[in-house]
Structure 1
Amino acid sequence: MLKSLKIGMAAAAVGAVVTLGGIAPAQAADDVAMLSVLHGVPDLTVDVYVNDKLTLDDFKPGDLAGPLELAPGTYTVAITASDAADASKPAIGPVDLPLEAGKNYTAAAHLDEAGKPTATLFTNDISQLAAGEGRLTVRHVAAAPAVDVLADGAAAITNLVNPKESVLTLPAGTISAAVAATGTTDPVIGPADVNVAEGTNTLVYAWGSLADKNLALAVQTIGGLHSSPEGVPAGEAGLVATNQPSDSTGLFVGGAAVLMGLVAAAALGLRRLAGARR
């Protein structure tokens, strides 16, 4: 059982998202922290408790909740089975999330390389981008050995291990991306088209288990990173991803309606919690 949160980063690739209207604020204020939560543990529906209060109920694998606007500070998170009466017997945690004002985070519950449940807090890059550029962040949070990320058939990122990340600044456009074991070009996920949008950080997570053959992808976007003075980090999005490497459209369209309702409830719960802490 984890007692401290590993702060690391990770890998994989592919894209297409559903916007969570009404959840992201119009602009990210300097005096709050933005937090999203990714569930990347296969075959385990969970409840998420924040400071001993139930915040996400029946959170399903592949779901991404947020972004949630929180007062800066340290939040204690425990992840339990979905039918747990309280947070006293967590499957993961309790772990402490130290959140700073003006920063953007994603907390990921996932498997480590050996297949054991763990958690990682990622700090998302919301620095400004030059005109015509986008950012691609790939994160490896799967029970799998090191991987290479292929862009248009060539290795763009090599030897990426769990739970690390690699960040690329690219011209805006579409690339064909896939994930392969390091040193090979035979995809274990993908290939699929990834839209690198101008002024946007597109974050792609590889999660699941290679041994159990349930590797999957989840995508998150953070927009508003243009270099103009008015450019501020704003919208984020994400949805359930499935393991269908031969169909890039099918990877990201399932489960959107369920996630919309879940995220709305999660946002309300954490905003109330944040208000109580102020």
Structure 2
Amino acid sequence: MRRIYYCFTFLAISLISCKSEDKKDATNTLNESTVWEVDFLDEFDTFNLQNWQDQRIWVNNETHCYVPNGEFGTREVSDGTLKLKVVKLDTVYPCDNLDKFGKQHLDTKYVAGRIASKNKKEFVKGKWTARLKLSSSGEPSMFPAWWLLGSKNNEPPVQEEDENICWPITGSGEIDIFEHHGDHHKDRFTTGAIKSLGECDKGDWWTLRKDFPVTLTEYHEYSVEWENSDLVYRVDGEEIYRNPGQGDAYPEPMFAILNFAKITDNPMESNKWVMEVDWVKHEYRK
């Protein structure tokens, strides 16, 4: 059975936090004016199957194959952090990833890690935050992401009867908290919501999203919160962007996704790319 967590909004005051290269206590981020209740926190001491599952799917014309169980080192938990990687192999790998129409991915020499809290930890509104960094930035084809998707999304894995809504209709809406497009910029990331155009597979990627500068090889906290009817995006607790009125467009339970993708045919400059995640949490205002 899907476990859905409902969150209630009473205040509209921002959460303030600090950054550090050392592992930081994710629970100690409340200011004097706002009381946040943490209802989900994973500090990645282990890979907790109560919180996450591997998500093996072919989307966005990605040129890698998502593999299970951390094969080839694509998903590793060590020293209190999660490492998701794109790894270049010496030989071609037979990929079994399917897209939502059942088409199988071509064989490839690139493998990668993707995890989702689908049917594990799903929440309505509130605030999602992850503290993460990249091993490098600005390399062609690089596409790491930290994002949310509506729990009734009909893409693999389909595990519940109500997972039958196509992207990005309500119930399968998308909010991108952090994306880095290595083909375009070094030390910049994109944040914002995908605007539904009311039909399957028709979303506006540009109107509600914006790029911002940040040192991607240093730890930062990337978050989105529902503030009344707005979606508010923060880095290290500071507001950088908001989607006015868009919070009401995402009333559904949402699950979190962390993945590192390779999205074009450009060769990798190194043998692996790494996104290191210190912790992930969800909160609601008391």
Same fold (TM over 0.5): no
From the two aligned structures, give the one with the greater helix fraction.
1
TM-score, normalising length from structure 2? 0.29
TM-score, normalising length from structure 1? 0.30
**Structure of greater relative contact order (alpha carbons < 8 Å, 6+ residues apart):** 2
